[in-house]
Amino acid sequence: MEMSFSNLVELKTFNVFPEYFVGISVLYILIVIILISYNVYGLIIQKALSECIGLTLLLTCYLILNDDLMIGQQGFELYSTLGFYKSFVTDFFASFTKFVVCFFSAFYFFLIADFLKEYKVTSFEYLLFLSLAVLGLMLLCSSNDLLTAYLAIELVSLSSYVLAAFKKTSNYSAEAGVKYLITGAISSAFFLLGSSFIYAYSGTVNLTDLGFILFDQTWFCLTEHSSSAITSTIDFNDLLKPFLEIGLGFILFSLFIKLALAPFHVWSLDVYEGSPTTSTFFFAVIAKLSFFVFLTRISYLAVFLYHDTWQFYAMFVALFSVFVGSFGGLRQRKLKTLLAYSSVSHMGYSLLAFSSGTRFGVEMLLFYLVIYILSGLGVWFVILGTKINRKRYTDKFSKELGDLVLLRKSNPALALSFTFTMFSIAGIPPLIGFFSKMGIFLSVLHAKYYLLALLAILCSVVSTFYYLRIIKLLYFENLLIGKLYYPLTSSKTILFSFLILSLVFLFTNPTFLYLIVYKAVISSFVV
């Protein structure tokens, strides 16, 4: 009997091996945990499971590095692999961003392993939902199709809703989950509506096909109108062009909500404050890069010929986010809310580089996001690692800025490391945060938007105030009471030391990261 292989996926087009490995690992861990007596050894398994998932993600990093695209055998050529009917793309840009997501997510799982008991997160489902969210972020980095991207975003979002409301005994956590669910549903609806408008205009939701269609239409417009067929085609396309603009606007609106950019950031303040701290850690640090990757891919590869459609809106939202994040955090006393405003301003700086419309801007965007994740891991590790002394302060459950005044007494080394991290996030020279923020401003100046760069620099000066206020509380406030926190004796101090040393290394030699980012962008973008 003759067999048909027309419906089989060729091995060379199966370009989702890392995602496949993570997905199978999650299913395998789920089966193993169900089969063992979890009720007896819950806390022990919780810590071991977190470290096991971290090791799995490190192995995923090895799979990504083992790819020819990542080790650089293709040089700087515009080389990519399309798989699953062009729904997924594998190029150096996608490989590098997936490696960053997996590597820092592995660090995240190692960091939270010792702190889950302190924050009363003792169910193995919590870690499985985190793993599924990481899987969705990886799929989003390689998405080359609007529907594929939508499914990846929904995988991240559905997991995030549960993570936000996971502390069932807390009304604040339940409220955070409900607000996140409502906001996420609105965002998903706008994404699907925008995708339908783009399909009505072009007949496809594939980004590669959409780019070719728009390029062909532009070429028709550049030819002489000697043919009536060409003229009628141009008139028909001009008639349907609002469908493209409206659809792209809806998709941008949806992604801006996911990135918590102003004025779509209001949900993030309550969600970050009410969610478990380990969940807020994930929302604010790990989940941002992949959304910017897809936003860059659709704007610079699919519809860049119509960059005037999205560039103005992106600039306005970026500047408004920087303004709100800089001035909104000045009067904050709760530490998690302050970091939520800080995240809004940092996403605004990232969107400034994105809206520059140049390849240099994309390079600085990627460079800035990597430094932001690295610094964010250090900041949130301090928040997680400062364990409150319950014997002396039984009614103290939340962290406020005034509590940091006691960190220097309980752990001077941690306070010093936290100070360097704050200096880097504030963009104070000569730390690596200064180089990344300077790159953002240079990309805007390179695009000749001088007023926009000036306003962003002024807002950056304002936002430096609340970072310096934290340092003031650490070292220049009088100690009126005893030690609020236990000394940090966890083995995770080694990981935190590695993060601080990474900031120092990138400060002394930022060229290493510059070259990787440059190759990732130049191998995928021609702008």
Q: Compute the distance between CA of residue 114 and CA of residue 294 in angstroms, rounded to an integer.
A: 33
Higher-pLDDT residue of 59 and 414 is 59
Find where tokens 């009067």 sit: 331
Is 388 a residue whose pLDDT tops 80?
A: no
Mean pLDDT of 143-148: 92
Give 72's pLDDT tier (boundaries 50, 70, 90). very low
**Which range among 16-30, 35-49, 232-246 has the greatest average pLDDT?**
16-30
Higher-pLDDT residue of 485 and 141 is 141
Is 506 a residue whose pLDDT tops 90?
A: no
Say what the pLDDT of residue 489 is.
54
Give 494's pLDDT tier (boundaries 50, 70, 90). low
Say what the pLDDT of residue 387 is.
66
Least confident of 139-148, 160-169, 227-236: 227-236
Buried/exposed 290-322: b ≥16 CB within 10 Å, e otherwise: bbbbbbbbbbbbbbbebeebbbeebbebbbbbb
Give 44's pLDDT tier (boundaries 50, 70, 90). low
DSSP string, 275-286: S-HHHHHIIIII
Mean pLDDT of 425-431: 85
Say what the pLDDT of residue 420 is.
85
**Three-state SS for 88?**
strand
**Residue 306 token pair:** 């119509």
Pairing verdict, β 88-90 and 81-83: antiparallel
Say what the pLDDT of residue 68 is.
59
Digit-coded pLDDT (tens) for 232-283: 444 445 666 788 889 999 999 999 999 999 889 889 998 998 898 889 989 9
Q: Helices 432-446 and 412-426 meet at what angle, rounded to 10?
A: 10
Give 350's pLDDT tier (boundaries 50, 70, 90). very high
Mean pLDDT of 451-462: 92
Please, are residues 5 and 132 in contact by the beta-carbon 8 Å criterion?
A: no
Is 405 a residue whose pLDDT tops 50?
A: yes
Say what the pLDDT of residue 37 is.
58
Say what the pLDDT of residue 122 is.
73
Mean pLDDT of the chain: 82
Please, are residues 234 and 220 in contact by the beta-carbon 8 Å criterion?
A: yes
Is 507 a residue whose pLDDT tops 80?
A: no
Nearest to 410 by CA among 337, 508, 479: 479
Higher-pLDDT residue of 303 and 398 is 303
Say what the pLDDT of residue 71 is.
44
Say what the pLDDT of residue 208 is.
87
Q: Compute the distance between CA of residue 447 and CA of residue 450 in angstroms, rounded to an integer.
A: 8
Say what the pLDDT of residue 490 is.
54
Is 146 a residue whose pLDDT tops 60?
A: yes
Is 169 a residue whose pLDDT tops 50?
A: yes
Is 141 a residue whose pLDDT tops 90?
A: yes
Is 288 a residue whose pLDDT tops 60?
A: yes
Is 460 a residue whose pLDDT tops 60?
A: yes
**DSSP H/E element including 252:** helix 228-258
pTM: 0.90
Find where tokens 């994309």 sit: 362
**Residue 501 token pair:** 């040393």
Is 2 a residue whose pLDDT tops 50?
A: no
- Under 8 Å CB-to-CB from 508, ≥6 apart: which residues? none
Say what the pLDDT of residue 192 is.
95
